[in-house]
Structure 1
Amino acid sequence: MRASAIRLLEVVPKSLVDKSVRVTPRLQPLTRTSREPTVMEILAQKKQAAGTKWPANLRLENPVPKEALVQVEQHARRKLKLLLKER
């Protein structure tokens, strides 16, 4: 079994830590200042630039959001999702 970061982590009570040891603060989460284009947006731009040279077998399908399927009964939702995807 491969060791993961969680398995290597050990929680030590504060009372056992020597007072002279400096504990580094938790890292701040990374935030992006600019929005990068999604893969779908990049491909749509390439498709528009290619015009009629774009291969007919490469279709761009937007994913169906959850909000669109809220009103559908639960037992039919999975079948509907499969029907919405082109094969």
Structure 2
Amino acid sequence: MARGWEADPSPLFERRLGKSAEELGNSDGNDECPDIWQLDNGDVAVIGRDLTGVYGARLPQGVHLAPDERLVVIPGNMLSAAKKDIADA
């Protein structure tokens, strides 16, 4: 059965949405930096903590994770900072 959407692994990172983790105070300057990026095909890449194992068993009714999907968590202030960069539907 074909999926309605499939991630394309070929696009490149085009622009950060919002501010960097360092600008928001969400980084100590090491490699653990959450981020949100728009890819050059319009898709969005989110870098965050993989909490699939924690939240996987308690997803809301009707929400499912495919075997190749991961649930990631980012700081709320990071998404709020990206709001101005995200087009309205």
TM interval, shorter chain, is under 0.3
The structure with the greater share of residues assigned to strand is 2
The structure with the greater share of residues assigned to helix is 1
**Quick one: higher RCO (CA 8 Å, sep 6+), 1 or 2?**
2
The structure with the larger Rg is: 1
What is the TM-score with the length of structure 2 in the denominator? Answer: 0.19
